[in-house]
Amino acid sequence: MSSTLAFQLAAAAALGWALYDLARRALANHLPAWVLVAATTTGALPLLLGWALYEGDWRITAAYWTPGLAAVALNVAANFCYFRAFQMAPLSVTLPMLSFTPLFASLLGAVFLGDDIGPRETAGALLVVLGGLALGLRAGGFSFEPGSAMMLAVAFLWSATLLLDKRALALASLQVHALVLNAGVAVGGLAALAILGRVRELRAVSGHWGGLAVAVALGATALAFQLYALRELPVGIVETIKRGVGGLSAVVLGRLIYGEEITLRKVAAVAMMAIGVAFLLL
């Protein structure tokens, strides 16, 4: 795969994740967090299984299970915190906090995978992070808006997951890893509902099949593009592109769909993130 194609796949994945975020935000208005974790991942399994059957690549090694299952565990926690953050605060001040993920991913990738991040890529990641800070922090202070701190925890968890994904992809096929991730998170969500005695809450999904189907299709597509891109690009670059596009989308879509206010600070933050992404793509 050429580097140009890898960047194109990373950009396509970023757009897919942005639309997936919007679909999940809409579902979070109606369904509990653990129900969303279980439903979105379970729903994606038929699509991912079909992809695996089409490709016919079932390669997996014994060494895969350590990073593979670790990625599942982190994703279970991250997905729950993700949905709870949406239920606590507006889209435009929670979702941009995921802009910290590229910084975490770059640092972890450099330390554990030996990824080479040059000055231009570093500057791009920092600009995206600064833009996320400008959106997520309260005006005139250094405390986070409600839900922003939880989304910051999600950023760290997902950056560590990206590191594990990259390692897992050297030990199993794309399709197998995607199936393990989604099946594992689905089991984790269902187990949490069973432990909490809230399995009956799954009945609420019946009134939201359309929104769930859209979210599942977007999520499965974005995951596939991201895993392809990760085979060729450092985790920090893939995640910076993803979060730069996500931060821009959060402000624009928050205004268009939820009527959230657009301020000068938000505009400046969006500009910083746009420049940061440009540093990576140009």
Over residues 230-267, the pLDDT tens digits come to 888 877 678 777 777 776 776 777 777 767 777 787 77
CA terminus-to-terminus distance, the chain: 19
Cβ(186)–Cβ(45) below 8 Å = yes
Dihedral sign (CA 207, 151, 148, 153)? positive
pLDDT above 70: residue 3: yes
- Taking residues 11-27, what's their average pLDDT? 84
CB 152 within 8 Å of CB 161: no
Q: Does residue 109 contact residue 246 with C-beta atoms inside 8 Å?
A: no
The DSSP letter of residue 64 is G
47 Cβ contact partners less than 8 Å away, ≥ 6 residues apart? 216, 217, 220
Query: Do 218 and 20 contact (CB within 8 A), yes or no?
Result: yes
Spatial separation of the C-alpha atoms in residues 86 and 173, rounded to whole Å: 33
* Sign of the alpha-carbon torsion through 17, 275, 159, 6: positive
Contact 17, 242 (CB under 8 A): yes
Q: What percent of the chain shows pLDDT beyond 90? A: 22
Residues 38/196, Cβ–Cβ less than 8 Å = no
**Confidence (pTM):** 0.73
Cβ-Cβ contacts under 8 Å for 70 (sequence gap 6 or more) = 164
The residue ranking higher by pLDDT, 19 or 35, is 35
The encoded tokens of residue 40 equal 């979105």
More confident: 49 or 21 = 49
Return the closest-CA partner of residue 237 out of 226, 251, 248. Answer: 226
The mean pLDDT of 178-206, rounded to a whole number, is 92
Closest to 57 (Cα-Cα) out of 173, 188, 231: 173
218 is in which domain, residue-wise? 3-281
Residues 115 and 121: their CA atoms lie apart, in Å, by: 12
Distance between CA 181 and CA 224 in Å, rounded?
12
pLDDT bracket for residue 185 (50, 70, 90): very high
Q: Which of 141, 100, 135, 151 is nearest to 268 (CA)?
A: 135
Place of tokens 């993130």: 273
Token readout for 63 is 């060494």
Residue 264 contacts residue 234 (beta carbons within 8 Å): no
State the total domains in the chain. Answer: 1
Mean pLDDT of 155-177: 88
- Please tell me the distance from the alpha carbon of residue 118 to that of residue 123, in angstroms, as a whole number: 9
